[in-house]
């Protein structure tokens, strides 16, 4: 009989820094430094390194770190017909918080074949720990596309959700323990979350045998996001309208930003019955948290969530971060969670 999972397991929100020989470091959408078979081999080596880094740090539920994807959204979309990467357009995303070069939707979206199956097979074969795999959420994909076909965000989002579900079903069958949909757009378009975002998310996650999660944060630690946060005031209450909707959904886990944020932790109480992945690592600073600082964030969350439903996590992906800093932060995350586990054990 297997041992029960410890309270306050640790995991990562998703991306990890890529090696400098694979992609330009500390940059989003960083171009690959390799090509052809060397690129394929380099991606595999980077996945091995990401898995071993997490294992050595003591992370319980590991990720392949999105090492094979240039960006967390466009990685999946490159496998979708009807999305033309030869027609990139500079558009404002996240309510025009910043601009990005995005592919154009030119026809009905279709997934002709699996997109990430080979990546999951490789990651699954290279770790014995629980494995998380991240996929972009429907609303965040819609917000990172130049749509010239549907011209209706909800219609495009629901179409993409169906493709995500087909992909997720296959990945779960390959041994993924947690499939997480990344929805930073949920903190921007709260009315759309209510009107169609939750429905699209549930369509993407429908019928999955593995655990399902949604990650909602305030973005990577890049200048545009840091400046935006300064405009949000002393209490960030974006979660207040979304959490009650998620509490009624079939999504099992919710990943949120807490460390060094102005999110009132009492909002976690709106997620009663859900697993809560508390961001206890700030990805917007190179300052490495101490284990005690991580433990303090997790202890504060325990006022609103039961220990069996609490996970220690990072605030967001760590792709733009220096690798040594990310590694040190992961070690602090695991050590801080261990402190809380010992306290709970008495």
Residues 6+ apart with CB under 8 A from 227: none
* Mean predicted confidence (pLDDT) in 20-43: 94
Averaged pLDDT, 167-177: 98
Q: How would residue 199 be classed by pLDDT, with cut points 50, 70 and 90?
A: very high
Tokens at 110, concatenated: 């279709």
Least confident stretch, 25-29, 101-105, 225-229, 316-320: 225-229
Please give the backbone phi and psi of residue 194, each rounded to the nearest 5 degrees, phi first: -65, -45
What's the pLDDT tens digit per position in 57-103? 999 999 999 999 999 899 999 999 999 999 999 999 887 887 889 99
pLDDT band for position 27 (cuts 50, 70, 90): confident
Report the helix count and the strand count for the chain, using DSSP H and E: 11, 11
Structure token pair of residue 213:
């999660």
Which ranges of 132-187 would DSSP assign to H, the alpha helix? 138-142, 153-173
Integer Cα distance of 76 and 137 in angstroms? 10
Q: What percent of the chain has pLDDT over 70?
A: 95
Q: How far is 229 from 218, CA to CA, in rounded Å?
A: 8
Mean pLDDT in the chain?
93
Q: How confident is the model over 96-155, as pLDDT tens digits?
A: 887 889 999 999 999 999 999 999 999 999 999 999 999 999 999 999 999 999 999 999
Q: How confident is the model at residue 2 (pLDDT cuts 50, 70, 90)?
A: very low
Handedness of CA 66, 11, 163, 193 (dihedral sign): negative
Other beta carbons less than 10 A from residue 16's beta carbon: 28
What is d(CA 258, CA 256) in angstroms, rounded to the nearest whole number?
A: 7
264 CB-near residues (< 8 Å, 6+ apart):
235, 236, 237
- Among 42-56, 227-241, 274-288, which is the least confidently predicted range? 227-241
Work out the average pLDDT over 165-178: 98
Average confidence (pLDDT) over 44-50: 98
Which pLDDT score, from 0 to 100, does residue 220 have?
A: 60
pLDDT score, position 1 = 39
Residue pair 298/336 in contact by the 8 Å Cβ criterion: yes
- CA dist 58 and 11 (Å) reads 9
Q: Cα-flanking dihedrals φ and ψ of residue 144, to 5°?
A: -120, 30
Thinking of the domain 14-345, which architecture would CATH place it in?
A: Alpha-Beta Barrel (3.20)
Q: What is the model's pLDDT at position 261?
A: 82
**Residue-wise pLDDT tens digits, 259-303:** 888 888 999 999 999 999 999 999 999 999 999 999 999 999 999
Sheet holding 9-10, edge to edge: 9-10, 310-314, 275-281, 253-257, 211-216, 178-182, 130-136, 61-63
Task: State the average pLDDT over residues 220-230.
Answer: 66
- Cα–Cα distance, 75 to 164 (Å, whole number): 13
Domain boundaries, the chain: 14-345
Q: What are phi and psi of 49, to 5 degrees?
A: -65, -40
Distance in angstroms (rounded) separating the CA atoms of residues 256 and 233: 18
**229 or 150: whose pLDDT is higher?**
150
């Amino acid at each position: 009989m297997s041992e029960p999972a410890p309270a306050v397991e640790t995991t990562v929100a998703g991306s990890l820094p890529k090696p400098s020989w694979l992609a330009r470091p500390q940059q989003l959408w960083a171009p690959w430094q390799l090509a052809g078979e060397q690129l394929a081999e380099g991606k595999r080596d980077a996945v091995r390194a990401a898995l071993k880094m997490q294992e050595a740090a003591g992370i319980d539920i590991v990720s392949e770190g999105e090492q094979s994807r240039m960006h967390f959204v466009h990685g999946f979309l490159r496998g979708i017909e009807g999305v033309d990467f030869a027609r990139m357009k500079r558009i404002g995303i996240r309510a025009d918080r910043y601009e990005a070069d995005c592919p154009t939707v030119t026809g009905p979206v279709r997934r002709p074949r699996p997109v990430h199956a080979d990546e999951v097979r490789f990651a699954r074969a290279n770790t014995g720990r629980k494995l998380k795999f991240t996929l972009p959420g429907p609303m965040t994909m819609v917000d990172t596309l130049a749509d010239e076909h549907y011209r209706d965000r909800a219609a495009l989002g629901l179409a993409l959700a169906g493709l995500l579900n087909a992909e997720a079903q296959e990945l779960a069958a390959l041994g993924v323990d947690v499939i997480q949909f990344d929805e930073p757009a949920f903190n921007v378009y709260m009315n759309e979350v209510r009107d169609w975002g939750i429905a699209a998310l549930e369509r993407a996650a429908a019928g999955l045998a593995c655990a399902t999660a949604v990650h909602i944060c305030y973005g990577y630690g890049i200048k545009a996001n840091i400046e935006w946060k300064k405009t949000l005031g002393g209490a960030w209450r974006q979660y207040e309208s979304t959490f009650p909707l998620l509490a009624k959904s079939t999504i099992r886990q919710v990943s949120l930003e807490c460390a060094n944020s102005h999110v009132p932790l009492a909002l976690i109480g709106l997620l009663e019955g859900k697993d809560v992945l508390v961001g206890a690592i700030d990805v917007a600073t190179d300052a490495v948290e101490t284990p005690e600082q991580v433990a303090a964030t997790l202890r504060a969350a325990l006022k609103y969530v039961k220990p069996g439903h609490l996970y220690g996590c990072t605030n967001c992906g760590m792709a733009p971060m220096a690798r040594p800093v990310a590694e040190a932060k992961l070690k602090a995350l695991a050590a801080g969670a261990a402190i809380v586990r010992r306290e709970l054990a008495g």
